[in-house]
Structure 1
Amino acid sequence: MVKCQVVMDAIERLAPKRLAEDWDNPGLLVGSFKQNVRRILVCLDVSDAVVEQAIACEADMIVAHHPLIFKGLKKIRTDLPLGARLQQLLKHDIAVAAAHTNLDIAVGGVNDVLATAIGLEKLSTFVITSQAEDGTVESLGRMGTLPAPMAVEDFARQVRDALPASHVRLVNAGKRAVRKVALCSGSGAEFIQKAAFMGADAYVTGDVKYHEAQQAVELGMHVIDAGHFATEFPVVEVLREKLSQELAEYDVEVIADRESTDFFQIM
């Protein structure tokens, strides 16, 4: 058993809250820092299915990537999805914490996990979010290189096979081989131009729209849209491992959500 505060301290070491974007809402969102925790469920989204898993496995805490609550609540309607979810969590005394953009930016976080999974090496910063006086630079997304140039079709298949994705969407900008790759997990289409200007042969992200794909082709850069879910879900198991290590001295079990799937299916 461990206090929730100890778990939050461990999360802070892995993904410091100071790294989070101003609009974000990481931290403890449901529950008390004083409550006891014996079992933690790590997940991407606090969905109804995840809450059911937490109840079934008698988890005392959920640690998610996406915050359950983003904006201030003026009412809690238990006949609506969020209110019903909150009611279940409070009824079963399950705390909920989130590490969102702070986990995206943190070393060893979502983007590093994605870069490693798809075979990138020599990682560097992409969208710089802060720079300390000692020269330490924090970045959203990553730049990296492949061991050898690849045809974009082969690289797209490599990305698909490395992630929990049934497919990827390839924006093919021509015969350009892929060696230098930029990426931003989740939803990063807003950085297509930046990736192109930084010399990326290909950009891996999710949630790309039609005109954003058109922009990439005009800039001569390939884009691989592997989906929001698939580019972020791999961090769940990694976060489980890291939390287990951080809490090794305590009598607490950390388990990962292995049941959730992408909301999108190809018919």
Structure 2
Amino acid sequence: MLSCQTIMNALERLAPRRLAEDWDNPGLLVGSCAQKVSRILVALDVDDAVTQEAIDRRADMIVAHHPAIFRGMKQLRTDLPLGRRLTALLTHNIAVAAAHTNLDITHGGVNDVLAERLGLEKLSAFVITHQEDGVTESLGRVGSLPTPLSIEDFAHAVKERLGVSHVRLAAAAARPVRRVAVCGGAGADFIDDAVRRGADVYVTGDVKYHEAQRAVEQGMHIIDAGHFGTEAPVLPVLVEQLYAELAAERGEIEIFVTNTQRDVFDVITS
């Protein structure tokens, strides 16, 4: 076993909390730094299914992308979903940590994994969050495809490479795809940034109708591959990164990806 603090130290090296946006809530959210951990479940969300999975698989800790506690709490109501989950986690002595926008921004995190999965090369910063001593940190990435593709072919490639059931495409006028901007999760706020960076297409999730319309009006394609679909690829990578960070520690540890969590949306075709 390892201490929870040892796990948190490893997570801090991978996705430093200083990278997180001001409104975010990463870090240890449930449990004690002193408790012992031998099994870690990695997931996007701490929902009811993941909570029960952690109990069933005897996990001592959940490392999630989205914070289990996001806004300030004034009550702990056990008859409501969040209170019920927190009670179950505390009852079974399961610690919960989150690495959210810090995992989005960090090198090797959500957006680097997404860009690599889509076959992008020559990556550069997208929405810059910090610059110091020649180091640039940003939400999202901009990269290039090895060879240009039609927007239809690229949309099919995104669907296949992310393993999602569908993507939503808003295509602009005929424009081959070479330069691609990506932002895992909900990145529609950065559509204008993608246009300014000269992207032929922007891949993100949670895009609304008028947001897609604005992208097309500016001559840029947009592909909505879903919040879940654009973030889930980081989970197995995070497992391997944690193993690597903890390799020199004395103590047995098992780290595994959730096998119950799935996209909250289903697609009904008939």
Q: TM-score, normalised by structure 1?
A: 0.99
Aligned partner of 1:211 in structure 2 is 210
Equivalent residue letter for 2:199: A
User: Structure 1 residue 71 and structure 2 residue 71: aligned?
Assistant: yes
1:151-208 per-position Cα deviation (integer Å, ceiling 9, x unaligned): 0000000000011310000000021000000011100001111101110000000000
Identity of paired residues, percent?
65
Q: Is the 8 A contact 1:126 1:143 kept in 2?
A: yes
Q: Residue by residue, what CA displacement relative to the aligned partner does 1:26-58 show, whole Å, maximum 9, x if unpaired?
A: 000000000000100000000111011110111
The AA in structure 2 aligned to 1:170 is L
Q: Which runs of 5+ in 2 are unaligned?
A: none
Distance 1:217 1:118 in 2: 21
Paired residue for 1:52?
52
Task: Name the structure 2 match of 1:221.
Answer: 220
Provide the rounded CA distance (Å) in 1 between the counterparts of 2:26 and 2:144.
31
Q: Which aligned pairs between 1:1-267 and structure 2 lie closer than 5 A?
A: 1-132=1-132, 134-248=133-247, 249=249, 250-267=251-268
**CA–CA separation in structure 2 for the residues paired with 1:38 and 1:67:** 22
* Secondary structure of 1:203's aligned partner: strand
1:259, distance to aligned residue in structure 2 (A): 2.3
**2:117, 2:235 → 1: CA distance?**
13
Aligned-partner Cα distance in 2 for 1:56–1:164: 27
Query: Number of matched residues?
Result: 266
Is the CA contact (8 Å cut-off) linking 1:42 and 1:257 kept in structure 2?
yes
Helix, strand or coil: the match of 1:186?
Answer: strand
Asked whether the equivalents of residues 17 and 102 of structure 1 are also in contact (C-alpha less than 8 Å), the reply is yes
Distance in 1 separating the partners of 2:161 and 2:173: 24
Mapped to 1, the partners of 2:87 and 2:260 lie a distance apart of 22
Distance 1:231 1:239 in 2: 15
SS in 1 for 2:240: helix
In structure 1, runs of 5+ residues without a counterpart are none
- Cα distance in 2, alignment partners of residues 227 and 188 from structure 1: 10
Corresponding residue SS for 1:86: helix
Q: Distance in 2 between matches of 1:28 and 1:160?
A: 34
Q: How far does the alpha carbon of each residue in 1:79-132 deviate from its partner, in whole angstroms, 9 at most, with x for none? A: 100000000000000000000000000000000000000111111000000011
Equivalent residues of 1:112, 1:142 under 8 A apart: yes
What one-letter code is carried by the residue in structure 2 that aligns with 1:137? Answer: T
Partner amino acid, structure 2, of 1:91: T
Check the 8 A contact 1:164/1:233 in 2, yes or no: no
